[in-house]
Amino acid sequence: MSSSSSAAITNRRWVTLIVVGLAQLMVVLDATVVNIALPSAQADLGFNDGQRQWVVTAYSLAFGSLLLLGGRLSDLLGRRRTFSIGLIGFALASALGGAAGTFGWLVAARALQGVFAAILAPTALAVLTTTFTIPKERARAFGVFGAIAGAGGAVGLLLGGVLTEKLDWRWNLYINVVIAVVALVGAYLFVPQTTRSGARPRLDVPGTVLVSGALFGLVYGFSNAETGGWDAPLTWGMLVLALILLVTFILWQQRTAHPLLPLSIILDRNRGAAYLSVLIVGTAMFAIFLFVTYYLQLTLGFSPIETGLSFLPMIGMLVLAAQLGTNLLVPRFGPKVMVPIGMVLGAIGMVYLTALDESSTYAANVLPPLLVLGFGIGTIMPASMQMATLGVDRQFAGVASALVNTAQQVGGSIGTALLNTLAATAAADFLLTHTPVTPQTAVQAAITSYSTAYSWSAGFFAFGAVMSALVFRRRGQGLSLANAHLAVSEPDEVPVLAH
């Protein structure tokens, strides 16, 4: 191959990274960008506070429960085809949501967004996994992709604030159409289509039904715990049902000839530790974006745009850490060292946030822990995402990638339910012991509730530090990052570069 041809292929890979990065950003930020728009949408469409949560829950239920199916479809139908279907469907669902004239219409559109996000997100990561097979390029690409995954929530807060204040709440949905069109053109031009030379594997329909039902029950159970309480029969009923379906799914995967998820994927120590790390970060990050946003707006009086801008330094630190980690530190020290360090930094940042009170200022008291948290998350996410898909046969790259998104989504659901409940309980206990209730005690109760959420999140990060230090293999044990290119080449799937 000539040097000019090699350079063209290399350039093509980096443009592919931009395309899949746009898709990933769209999916991740859509989980938070709509939150900023909810008050305006509620006033416009006239739904009540009890109904409001379904605008968020409808998306997370569809997204979380169908992720493994979406990942497997990309294995069976081809990356570019599935990626394009996800982009087109997500854009159409977003356009429907933006044009919503009733509450039911908006919720249905959000659920449809979740369906196509479940196709799009794992396919984007699978494209990345099978495109970048040279170790140094793979590390750099996963650094960028991991930074996008970690920073998407904060970007959503900023973008939501700008669009809601300057345009209209509907543009929080319409903006996806613009992003999707750009990504779709890029996908057609730069993402290679794949053709399968061997027999096409069959879809494991019973396994798909079982795991989709289990994930639906898990996400719904935690969502219901947030609104209906942990003692609600529906909460425990759905969680118990999810557990039963999950156990049945595992037993089925051991006996079927065409498993949806070969258990060897998750039983590998490095990959298992990577999935758990992503789940823990998803759980703990909820405290950053929700409770810090509450604190900035309700206690310090920031506007939505100011709140979004406040997270930019954290994003910058996250991107810096992601690039340093994947290009220099992870190849040298491995995830067994770097992921625990990131977890410890996350715990330190959360403990730092517990000191906030009504006299705190952004520059002196909020900015430093956000920088620490940004560096910590930027150290954890790219290394974990890279290890989560390393060594997986190309024919299962989609479903392995889907597990990363599933871990992040389930972690977010746990964080939403658990931390909200703990925070609300802390606020109620504070008010019971500080009577009569005055505006001052109400402010103190809110700050106490935020501090409780930060403390628990610090505990999650501390657990993650111990878990990752114990479970990740030492460098040199098993498959390493250095031979990643040997693990993703599979002769039965050939990229077709011509269009």
At 150, the pLDDT band (50, 70, 90 cuts) reads: low
In 3-state terms, what secondary structure has residue 104? helix
Structure tokens at 267: 């039983």
In 3-state terms, what secondary structure has residue 468? helix
Q: What is the pLDDT of residue 147?
A: 72
Question: In whole numbers, what is the pLDDT of the chain averaged over residues?
Answer: 80
User: Backbone dihedral region of 498: left (phi > 0), alpha (psi from -120 to 50 degrees) or beta?
Assistant: beta
pLDDT tens string 90-102: 999 999 998 888 8
Contact 24, 147 (CB under 8 A): no
At 490, the pLDDT band (50, 70, 90 cuts) reads: very low
CB within 8 Å of 281: residues ≥ 6 apart: 150, 346, 377, 380, 381, 384, 408, 411, 464
Range among 333-337, 371-375, 427-431, 475-479 rated most confident: 371-375
R_g of the chain, CA atoms, integer Å: 22
Instruction: Assess whether pLDDT exceeds 60 at residue 483.
Output: no
Range among 49-63, 370-384, 417-431, 434-448 rated most confident: 370-384
Instruction: Assess whether pLDDT exceeds 80 at residue 36.
Output: no
Amino acid identity of residue 484, one-letter, is A
Q: What is the pLDDT of residue 88?
A: 93
In 3-state terms, what secondary structure has residue 123? helix
Q: Where are the alpha helices (DSSP H) in 167-258?
A: 171-190, 205-228, 233-255
345 or 6, which is more confident: 345
CA 321 to the chain's CA centroid:
18
At 198, the pLDDT band (50, 70, 90 cuts) reads: low
Residue whose tokens read 């429960």: 65
What does DSSP assign to residue 483? G
Q: What is the pLDDT of residue 498?
A: 34
Q: What is the pLDDT of residue 277?
A: 92
86 or 157, which is more confident: 86
Q: What is the pLDDT of residue 376?
A: 93
Range among 134-138, 235-239, 351-355 rated most confident: 351-355
165 or 82, which is more confident: 82
Distances (CA, A) of 400 to 69, 120, 221, 464, 467: 11, 14, 24, 21, 21
CB within 8 Å of 435: residues ≥ 6 apart: none
Residue whose tokens read 């935020």: 450
What does the alpha-carbon distance between residue 423 and residue 412 come to, in Å, rounded to a whole number?
Answer: 16
Q: What is the pLDDT of residue 461?
A: 95
Q: Which of 182, 219, 218, 203 minimizes the C-alpha distance to 87?
A: 182
At 346, the pLDDT band (50, 70, 90 cuts) reads: very high
162 or 354, which is more confident: 354
pLDDT tens string 211-249: 889 888 888 887 787 677 778 888 889 999 999 999 999
Q: What percent of the chain has pLDDT over 70?
A: 87
Please give the average per-residue pLDDT across 252-274, as a whole number: 85
Q: Which of 344, 305, 380, 316 minimizes the C-alpha distance to 460?
A: 344
What residues form DSSP beta bridges with 196?
493
Tell me the helices (H) and strands (E) count for the chain, helix number first: 18, 2
Please give the average per-residue pLDDT across 452-464, as a whole number: 93
Q: What is the pLDDT of residue 329?
A: 83
Instruction: Assess whether pLDDT exceeds 70 at residue 121.
Output: yes
Q: What is the pLDDT of residue 247?
A: 93
Helix (H) or strand (E) holding 117: helix 103-131
What does the alpha-carbon distance between residue 156 and residue 59 come to, in Å, rounded to a whole number?
Answer: 15
What does the alpha-carbon distance between residue 338 and residue 399 come to, in Å, rounded to a whole number?
Answer: 26
What does the alpha-carbon distance between residue 124 and residue 469 come to, in Å, rounded to a whole number?
Answer: 29
Q: What is the pLDDT of residue 202?
A: 75
Q: What is the pLDDT of residue 201?
A: 66
Amino acid identity of residue 10, one-letter, is T
Please give the average per-residue pLDDT across 123-130, as a whole number: 77
Q: What is the pLDDT of residue 479?
A: 46
Structure tokens at 465: 């530090």
Q: What is the pLDDT of residue 200?
A: 62
Please give the average per-residue pLDDT across 481-491, as a whole number: 40
What does the alpha-carbon distance between residue 227 and residue 239 come to, in Å, rounded to a whole number?
Answer: 15
Q: What is the pLDDT of residue 223?
A: 76
Q: What is the pLDDT of residue 499?
A: 34
Distances (CA, A) of 368 to 41, 78, 124, 145, 345: 34, 45, 33, 25, 12
Contact 369, 353 (CB under 8 A): yes
Q: How many CA atoms lie within 13 A of 251 on its CB side?
A: 6
Amino acid identity of residue 156, one-letter, is G
Please give the average per-residue pLDDT across 157-180, as a whole number: 83
Q: What is the pLDDT of residue 420?
A: 80
Contact 161, 36 (CB under 8 A): yes
Contact 379, 399 (CB under 8 A): no
Q: Where are the alpha helices (DSSP H) in 325-438?
A: 330-333, 335-353, 367-389, 397-433
Least confident residue range of 66-75, 198-207, 467-476:
198-207
Structure tokens at 346: 């996350």
199 or 288, which is more confident: 288
Predicted TM-score (pTM) of the model is 0.79
Q: Where are the alpha helices (DSSP H) in 132-202?
A: 135-166, 171-190
What does the alpha-carbon distance between residue 338 and residue 65 come to, in Å, rounded to a whole number?
Answer: 31
Amino acid identity of residue 235, one-letter, is T
Residue whose tokens read 């930094």: 345
CA 65 to the chain's CA centroid:
14
394 or 305, which is more confident: 305
Instruction: Assess whether pLDDT exceeds 50 at residue 482.
Output: no
Q: What percent of the chain has pLDDT over 90?
A: 18
Instruction: Assess whether pLDDT exceeds 80 at residue 493.
Output: no
Residue whose tokens read 């044009």: 99
What residues form DSSP beta bridges with 495?
194
At 11, the pLDDT band (50, 70, 90 cuts) reads: low
Q: What is the pLDDT of residue 340?
A: 94
